[in-house]
Structure 1
Amino acid sequence: MSLRVEDLDAYGCSICEVEFERRPFTFMDHVVSRHPNMKTCPYRRCQQDFPTATQMAQHVLLDHHGYL
């Protein structure tokens, strides 16, 4: 049996190679403090633009990881 990425309860920063397991606020803080100008979704098929890095991080959690 192989483990798929969507089976993991983790998301991370591919730039810094850091994982955040079910810690959404730590993830958002990381994005805002380390990548404050990252306002475009890093997912290749998405690339949506947002007014702030916080909104982009929220989008990643909600729309790509299903975190509510």
Structure 2
Amino acid sequence: MAQSEAQRRASAKYVREHVTRKMVAFYPSEADLLAFADTRGAFATYVKRLIREDMERENKKA
């Protein structure tokens, strides 16, 4: 189903106001890291999973 112009504007406004984006830069010396991450599927999903796992480890220590 096609979105109306109003719906596109509303969605863009929501993203602007509520979504945080972080950029990750990979230098040529880190090509192996990027290549490995690329084999794991969607990059953002992979990074979020790693963060959640790290949070769980930290919580178990406390």
TM superposition score normalised by structure 2: 0.29
Flag the structure with more relative contact order, 1 or 2, with Cα contacts below 8 A and sequence separation at least 6: 1
Structure showing greater Rg:
2
- Normalized per residue, the structure richer in helix is 2
As a proportion of its length, which structure holds more strand?
1
TM-score between both structures, scaled by the size of structure 1: 0.27
